[in-house]
Amino acid sequence: MHIKLFFLAKMQEYFAISPLILQAYSVIIAKEYRKDGIPTMALNQISKEEYCRITPQIEGLVQQWGQHAHIDKSLYQKYDVKRGLRDATGRGVLASLTRISEVKGYTVDGSDTIPCEGVLYYRGYDVRELVHGALGDKRFGFEETFYLLLFGVLPTAQELSQFCAMLADYRQLPKNFVRDVVMKAPTGDMMNTLARSILTLYCYDDKANDISLPNVLRQCLQLTVNTPQLAIYSYQAYRNTQGEGLYLHTPQRELSMAENILYLLREDKQFTELEARALDAALILHADHGSNNSTFTNHVVSSTGTDTYSAMAASLCSLKGPRHGGANIKVMQMMADLKEHVSDVTSEEQIRSYLTDVLDKKVFDHLGLIYGMGHAVYSLSDPRAEVLRTFVEDLAAEKGYDEELAMYRTVEQVSRQLLSGRTSRPVAANVDFYSGFLYSMLCLPAELYTPLFAIARMAGWSAHRMEELGENNKIIRPACKCIEKRRPYIPMSQR
Residues 387, 135: Cα–Cα separation, whole Å: 12
Task: Report the candidate in 206, 275, 194, 224 with the shortest Cα–Cα distance to residue 14.
Answer: 206
Q: Which amino acid makes up residue 218? A: R
The strand pair at 125-126 and 101-109 is best described as unpaired
Helical axes 142-151 vs 127-136, angle rounded to 10°: 140
Active centre residues (catalytic):
375, 432
Cα–Cα distance, 87 to 81 (Å, whole number): 8
Q: 241-277 as b/e, with b when 16 or more CB fall inside 10 Å?
A: eeeeeeeebebeeebbbbbbbbbbbbeeeebeeebbb
- Sheet containing 125-126: which strands, arranged edge to edge? 101-109, 112-122, 125-126
Sign of CA dihedral 362, 363, 366, 369: negative
Following DSSP, what letter does each residue of 29-65 receive, concatenated?
HHHTB-TTS-BSS------HHHHH---HHHHHHHHHH
CA-CA distance, 236 to 228, in Å (whole number)? 12
SS3 325: coil
* 4 and 29 Cβ atoms separated by less than 8 Å: yes
